[in-house]
Amino acid sequence: MDLFQSEIINLLPYDGEANYHGLVMTPEQARHYFDVLLRDIEWKNDEAIIFNKHIITKRKVAWYGDRQFAYTYSKTTKLALPWTQELLELKLLAERLSGATYNSCLLNLYHDGSEGMAWHSDDEQSLGPNTVIASISLGATRKFAFKHKRSKETHSLILEHGSLLVMQGATQTHWLHRLPPTTTVSQARVNLTFRTIIDQ
C-alpha cells in the first residue's frame, strides 16, 4: 500500500508515460537523505563539449552504479562509483514503487534556482528503447516540464521534496524534458535519476 498518495498521475496524454507518485517518504526522511547526500556524494561540476567549447556547469553531478559503467554524453565520459547505503535504500524504494529494477543513478545538485537543465531526452543508446527512469527529488520544490518533439505540446508539474516521478514507455523517444531556471528559488535541490544501462 502507498501510504502517501493513492493516486498516481500520468502527465503525458500520448506517446509515453510520466507517472507522478507524489510524496514517497516523510519530510523527515527526505531531509535526512538530502543532508546525507549533500555531504557524502562525490559531487563534481559537470563538463561538456558543446559547439567545440569546453563548458563547466555550476550544477554538480555524480554517477553511481552496480559496476563501473561508463556514461558518455556531450563527448565527456564518467565512470560509475559504487553505491552508498543511502543510494541503495532510495534505489529499493524506487524499484518497489515503479515495479522496475535499476543498475545506475545519475545525481544532480542545483545550488539554487539559477541552475537548471536544458531541454533534452534521455535517449542514449546505452539506455535502450522504452527505458524506465525513476526520478526522486529532494530539497527545493522546482517546476519540471515536458515538450513533445513534433507537436511542441507542453505539460509541466511541480516536483516536491521527497517525491517520485517515473518516466517510461516511449517518453524519451517523443518528449523532451527540462528543469527551467527560476528567480524565485534560493534553496538547493538534489535530484536522483535511477536508470538501467543495457549495453556494457
Ligand X SMILES: O=C(O)CCC(=O)C(=O)O
Residues that bind ligand X (CB under 6 A): 106, 108, 117, 122, 135, 144, 159, 177, 179, 191, 193
Question: What binding mask, one character per residue, do residues 142-181 give for Fe ion by CB under 5 A, x or -?
Answer: ----------------------------------------
Q: How far, CA to CA in Å, does 99 sit from each of 38, 94, 179?
A: 27, 8, 25
Angle at 38 between CA 41 and CA 69, to 5 degrees: 25
Minimum Å gap between C-beta 177 and Fe ion is 6
Contact partner, 170, from Fe ion, ligand X, none, Cβ < 5-8 Å per class: none
Minimum Å gap between C-beta 32 and Fe ion is 25
Contact partner, 191, from Fe ion, ligand X, none, Cβ < 5-8 Å per class: ligand X
Closest CA to 63 of 87, 99, 34: 87
Contact partner, 144, from ligand X, Fe ion, none, Cβ < 5-8 Å per class: ligand X
Residues 150-186: b if buried by 16+ CB within 10 A, e if exposed: eeeeebeeebbbbbbbbbbbebbebbbbbbebeeebe
Q: Which residue number is nearest to Fe ion in terms of Cβ?
A: 122
Binding segment for Fe ion among 78-86, 103-111, 121-129, 149-157 (CB under 5 A)?
A: 121-129
Among 35, 95, 112, 122, indicate the residue that binds Fe ion (CB under 5 A): 122
Minimum Å gap between C-beta 2 and ligand X is 21
Minimum Å gap between C-beta 101 and Fe ion is 19
The answer to whether 34 and 139 are in contact (CB under 8 A) is yes
H or E element that contains 95: helix 85-98
Catalog residues that contact Fe ion under the rule CB under 5 A. Answer: 122
